[in-house]
Chains A and B, each alone.
Chain A
Amino acid sequence: MSDMNTAMVERYRNNFLKEVESHVEEGEWVKMCMQCGVCSGSCPLGNAWAHPPQELFMMIRAGKREEVLTSDSMWMCTSCYNCIVRCPRELPITHIMHGLAHYAKRLGLVPKKQPTNEFAEIFWNNMMKKGRVNELKLGLSMYFKDGFSQGIKNALANQKLGQSMMKAKRMNPMEIIGGHGIKNPSELQKIIQKAQEIEDKKLQGAN
């Protein structure tokens, strides 16, 4: 994927705004931001972000490609939609945040150990196996993502919760063996693979 990154750098040189417009979901809205800052002020997690949305938009216009795409900020978005509701220019800010995260991911620029990214990856892999999410395995993968001993610690800390869920039949321990799925998962995998090829081609090909 970093080949793709190099290719993009080459193609857009100093016009990052144009790159965002062409390749980031809803990216063409970025130029319409009028820098009022209502989004940043409305974000419930705003103070936890290195660069709130208004600043990200300004950085895009200032051509700070590396800083934006390797940023942790857009991954912090919880999709509360406060910003979208309040933006006087009606920018779909939440979607742009996800679009930026997605684009960074495809270019291989996500910061290491970014938890939102890690969860998304585990979720995706889990689901792709059988075409359905196996919640037990998803939970366990999350517990053990940082190594075996940390996994045991996480599991013990959540022991009571797990037992209660089983008692209430909210979680089936039998899912650990195989688990449920769709009829023909390999067909789904093929569909997704094809879709990915099309998307990649788009990215590499014309604007």
Chain B
Amino acid sequence: MSDEKKFAGYICTGCGIGDRLDAGQLETTATRDGKMQSCKQHEMLCSAEGVKMIRDDIDNDGVTHIMLGACSRRAKVEAFNFTEVAMTRANLREGVIWARPDEDELTETTQEMADDYIRMACAELKSMNIPKPSGEQGLNRNILVVGGGVSGMTAAIEAAAAGYSIHLVEKTGSLGGHAAGLYKRVPFRAAAPGVGNDPHAQLPDAEEPGVDELIARVEADQRITVHLNSTVTKTSGAPGRFSADISTESGGTTTENFGAIVQASGFKPYDAAQLPEFAYGKTPDVLTNFELEKLAKEANGGPLKRPSDGKEVKSVAFVQCAGQRSQKEGHLAYCSGFCCTESIKQAIYFKDQNPDCDTTIIYSDLRTPGAAGEDFYRAGQEKMVIFTKGQVAEVSSSGDALSVKFKDLILDEDTEMTADLVVLATGMVPNSGPDPYASSESQEEMSDEEKEEANAAAEVAVSVESILNLDYRQGTDLPQLKYGFVDSHFICFPYETRRTGIYAAGPVRRPMDMKQAMDDAAGAAMKAIKECELAAHGAAAHPRVGDLSYPSFRKEGCTQCKRCTVECPFGAINEDEERYPLFNESRCRRCGTCMGACPVRVISFDNYSVETVGQQIKNVEIPDEFDEKPRILVLACENDAYPALDQAAMSGEKISQWARIIPVRCLGSVSMSWITDSLNSGYDGIVLMGCRRDEDYQCHFVRGSKMAAERMSKVGDTLESLNLEPERVAVHEVAITDIQRAPQLIQDMADVVEKVGMSPFKF
């Protein structure tokens, strides 16, 4: 195929577009202003017939670039699936006719809107290239699993079952992790259907842990290679071409190549020494749930004895949320999610051994996740485990027994009970490596001197061992979301960490029990498999799945400022020997944050660049000042804000006729030059719509929205130098559900323009 570009436009007149708009004029706009070599109309472009018309032009006439003036780029994507050409879409349906009232006196402005969208789409198309995969990496169906606990073993088994080869690296000398120390496990399945609520119902019992079977399956699997007493001492590369050094304790190192990585490094038990108020460490009869489990495993069904004097336990109290869900220093702020069912299970150990043993679980909120959770709670109640809603204040030794002081939250009184043994339901702490952003984020406010001091202090304090030893410019391990857990979003995109191709599974991702960890591991294994395959095709992972474009830069323009390497939320950019940025295509999520960050505008994608958007901005017709027709530029994030505006139009909300909306991959990709250029060329207002960016962010690229907000906070200087009012530029956080609010924000800007007057820069 020659490099010649052939541009063709298509205008759909279906869905009412033809009735509301002058299609002939749109066609003229496309060919005259938009410089399309041809432009055709069709009454229903997405029909088999319409699609065939386009297909024929591509196949027979050598069309390489197509512009569709039809519905939103989010609609009919299956019909308009022409992967081998560059394509843009002018949003005439959701963006124009559905967003504007059908009234005679408004026809003129509606048509102007449509003409502008056609011009913009054509201009964008002119500066687009057809994205081609780099071929940087091929298909590698090896997966590295770090951690040989239940999560890691499950991930290995699941990926192996799908035909992938696994290297399972375990730091200790045996597989099984914490679960290997279990006497029994919390049941996985709920009671049978139809089991009632009566006190004799057949409810699930604690089960055999099943860890031995899991280990046996791993060991028997031909596709799984187990490395015991080993750690990952270096990880470099990118998805599809990771290279990892696996070193044994004795010093031997093997290097393997991987397509993707699953980190299942699990958790560490919370250090109960920080709980002196519960007499931990003062008497051996106060145990953590982990220690009791050990005792139960040793007793193996026999009577449980007190560690202090070997007396058979006749009464036991469980203190829930010990050192958890508390803001006190040294406590965990979160709920570990497994300890309530764990305590129920352990209370039943005592009851099964001796039904007359007094077992009391003192809880403030009982949380029993999982299919069997509520039924297992009832099983404990059936066996006469006493559940007391209360807050434990203190545990102390009183002679032969222990005294537990607590506030009964139902009876609202301070009270006390005695017990032979006290079990503290302590939580889990993620076993993650050092957070690459830990110091930089907390130091943003500090001066240089303070930073130096803090860094010196950190060097002493941080003894956390790296798990992956990533050879990335942005740190050795996975960035942390909260409390040390490595994830990028617990709800919207689980397993997806901020290092592409490396997936977190199990309690290192968020606190969870064994069943959840196994489900989690299967999920992460699926993600890893998917990434191996995507990387092989040079295609992006979540959220722009399948995108073949990737960033490249114009070397001669680069000033080696390194902003791109710092601002990339996914650590995709390294530094080469000459100190230029080194893009790793398959680590990239294609958000364009690097592009927005680049002060000299040298970074671009084939189909998305400073030019593609800049040209759209330039090709909007700006009527002169006295026409009283302002122009408002809206840069809307394609993930939330743009669909919200589409949805608004679908539900009959109206969007200001002065708005010209351009979807951007992420607000992080917005180049300051777009803002300056549009202000200079006479736009009256600019509205930027990105995702929520604070602690509970919704940004699909984690930090894009935050970076944009930071950059835009400096836009005041630009406005000042142009002698423009600061309220002409607004940055908003818009959620996909803001169907009424999003158009209103644009209307607000229209009102502002009406108040402060038209821009004086219209020529």
CB nearest to B356 among chain A residues: A15
Q: Shortest beta-carbon distance, A22 to chain B, in Å?
A: 12
Contact flags (1/0) for B657-699 with A, using CB distance below 8 Å?
0000000000000000000000000000000000000000000
Write out the residue numbers on chain B whose beta carbons fall within 8 Å of the beta carbon of A8.
none
> Is the CB of A58 closer than 8 A to any CB of chain B?
yes
Q: Which of B198, B199, B377 has the most CB of A within 10 A?
A: B199
CB nearest to A18 among chain B residues: B384
Chain B contacts with A in 386-436, Cβ cutoff 8 A? 386-389, 408, 410-411, 415
Q: Which of B358, B381, B382 has the most CB of A within 10 A?
A: B381
Size bracket, chain B contacts? 10 to 19
Contact flags (1/0) for A13-31 with B, using CB distance below 8 Å?
0010110000000001101
Chain A contacts with B in 36-81, Cβ cutoff 8 A? 54-55, 58-59, 61-62
Contact A62 B378 (CB under 8 A): no
Contact B197 A89 (CB under 8 A): yes
How far, in angstroms, from A15 to B357 measured CA to CA in the complex?
11
Q: Shortest beta-carbon distance, B381 to chain A, in Å?
A: 5
CB nearest to A14 among chain B residues: B358
> Is the CB of B163 closer than 8 A to any CB of chain A?
no
Q: Shortest beta-carbon distance, A20 to chain B, in Å?
A: 11
Chain B contacts with A in 183-204, Cβ cutoff 8 A? 196-199
How far, in angstroms, from A133 to B382 measured CA to CA in the complex?
42
Write out the residue numbers on chain B whose beta carbons fall within 8 Å of the beta carbon of A118.
none
Contact A59 B197 (CB under 8 A): no
How far, in angstroms, from A62 to B387 measured CA to CA in the complex?
10
> Is the CB of A114 closer than 8 A to any CB of chain B?
no
Contact B384 A34 (CB under 8 A): no
CB nearest to A91 among chain B residues: B197
> Is the CB of A120 closer than 8 A to any CB of chain B?
no
Write out the residue numbers on chain B whose beta carbons fall within 8 Å of the beta carbon of A18.
384
Write out the residue numbers on chain B whose beta carbons fall within 8 Å of the beta carbon of A90.
196-198
How far, in angstroms, from A2 to B389 measured CA to CA in the complex?
33
Chain B contacts with A in 363-391, Cβ cutoff 8 A? 366, 377-378, 381-382, 384, 386-389
Write out the residue numbers on chain A whose beta carbons fall within 8 Å of the beta carbon of B197.
32, 89-91
How many A-B pairs have beta carbons closer than 8 Å: the answer is 46
Contact B381 A31 (CB under 8 A): yes
CB nearest to B415 among chain A residues: A62
> Is the CB of A35 closer than 8 A to any CB of chain B?
yes
Contact A35 B411 (CB under 8 A): no
Size bracket, chain A contacts? 10 to 19
Write out the residue numbers on chain A whose beta carbons fall within 8 Å of the beta carbon of B389.
35, 58
Contact A17 B384 (CB under 8 A): yes
Given contacts A58-B411, A62-B411, A90-B196, contact A34 B386 (CB under 8 A): no
Query: B377 contacts which of A15, A29, A34, A91 (Cβ < 8 Å)?
Result: A34
Write out the residue numbers on chain B whose beta carbons fall within 8 Å of the beta carbon of A89.
197, 378
Majority SS of interface residues in chain A? helix
Contact B382 A32 (CB under 8 A): yes
CB nearest to A40 among chain B residues: B410
How far, in angstroms, from A183 to B366 measured CA to CA in the complex?
60
Contact B382 A54 (CB under 8 A): no
Write out the residue numbers on chain B whose beta carbons fall within 8 Å of the beta carbon of A31.
199, 381-382, 384, 386
Contact flags (1/0) for A74-98 with B, using CB distance below 8 Å?
0000000000000001110000000
Write out the residue numbers on chain B whose beta carbons fall within 8 Å of the beta carbon of A58.
388-389, 408, 410-411
CB nearest to B199 among chain A residues: A28
CB nearest to A64 among chain B residues: B411
How far, in angstroms, from A18 to B383 measured CA to CA in the complex?
11
Contact B377 A35 (CB under 8 A): no
Chain A contacts with B in 82-140, Cβ cutoff 8 A? 89-91
Contact A61 B199 (CB under 8 A): no
Contact B408 A35 (CB under 8 A): no
Q: Shortest beta-carbon distance, A160 to chain B, in Å?
A: 47
Write out the residue numbers on chain A whose beta carbons fall within 8 Å of the beta carbon of B411.
55, 58-59, 62
Write out the residue numbers on chain B whose beta carbons fall within 8 Å of the beta carbon of A29.
198-199
Write out the residue numbers on chain B whose beta carbons fall within 8 Å of the beta carbon of A15.
358
Q: Shortest beta-carbon distance, A88 to chain B, in Å?
A: 8
Write out the residue numbers on chain B whose beta carbons fall within 8 Å of the beta carbon of A32.
197, 199, 378, 381-382
CB nearest to B412 among chain A residues: A55
Contact B388 A61 (CB under 8 A): yes
Write out the residue numbers on chain B whose beta carbons fall within 8 Å of the beta carbon of A17.
384, 386
How far, in angstroms, from A55 to B366 measured CA to CA in the complex?
17
Write out the residue numbers on chain B whose beta carbons fall within 8 Å of the beta carbon of A54.
410
Contact B408 A62 (CB under 8 A): yes
Q: Shortest beta-carbon distance, A83 to chain B, in Å?
A: 14
Q: Shortest beta-carbon distance, B376 to chain A, in Å?
A: 13
Write out the residue numbers on chain A whose beta carbons fall within 8 Å of the beta carbon of B199.
28-29, 31-32
How far, in angstroms, from A89 to B197 measured CA to CA in the complex?
6
Q: Shortest beta-carbon distance, A153 to chain B, in Å?
A: 41
Q: Shortest beta-carbon distance, A175 to chain B, in Å?
A: 45
How far, in angstroms, from A17 to B385 measured CA to CA in the complex?
11
CB nearest to A57 among chain B residues: B410
Chain B contacts with A in 151-202, Cβ cutoff 8 A? 196-199
How far, in angstroms, from A59 to B411 measured CA to CA in the complex?
8
How far, in angstroms, from A45 to B387 measured CA to CA in the complex?
27
How far, in angstroms, from A108 to B531 measured CA to CA in the complex?
75
Q: Which of A28, A58, A90 has the most CB of B within 10 A?
A: A58
Given contacts A29-B199, A90-B197, contact A35 B410 (CB under 8 A): yes
How far, in angstroms, from A34 to B387 measured CA to CA in the complex?
8
CB nearest to A67 among chain B residues: B411
How far, in angstroms, from A90 to B197 measured CA to CA in the complex?
6
Q: Shortest beta-carbon distance, A53 to chain B, in Å?
A: 12
Q: Shortest beta-carbon distance, B500 to chain A, in Å?
A: 45
How far, in angstroms, from A34 to B411 measured CA to CA in the complex?
14
Q: Which of B196, B377, B384, B389 has the most CB of A within 10 A?
A: B384
Q: Shortest beta-carbon distance, A29 to chain B, in Å?
A: 6
How far, in angstroms, from A61 to B410 measured CA to CA in the complex?
12
What are 18 A-B pairs at a CB distance below 8 A? A15-B358, A17-B386, A29-B198, A29-B199, A31-B384, A32-B197, A32-B378, A34-B366, A34-B377, A34-B387, A55-B411, A61-B386, A62-B388, A62-B415, A89-B197, A89-B378, A90-B197, A91-B197
Known: A31-B381, A62-B411. 10 other contacts (CB 8 A): A17-B384, A29-B198, A31-B382, A32-B197, A32-B381, A32-B382, A35-B389, A35-B410, A55-B411, A90-B196
Question: Top 3 closest A-B pairs, CB basis?
Answer: A90-B197, A58-B410, A28-B199
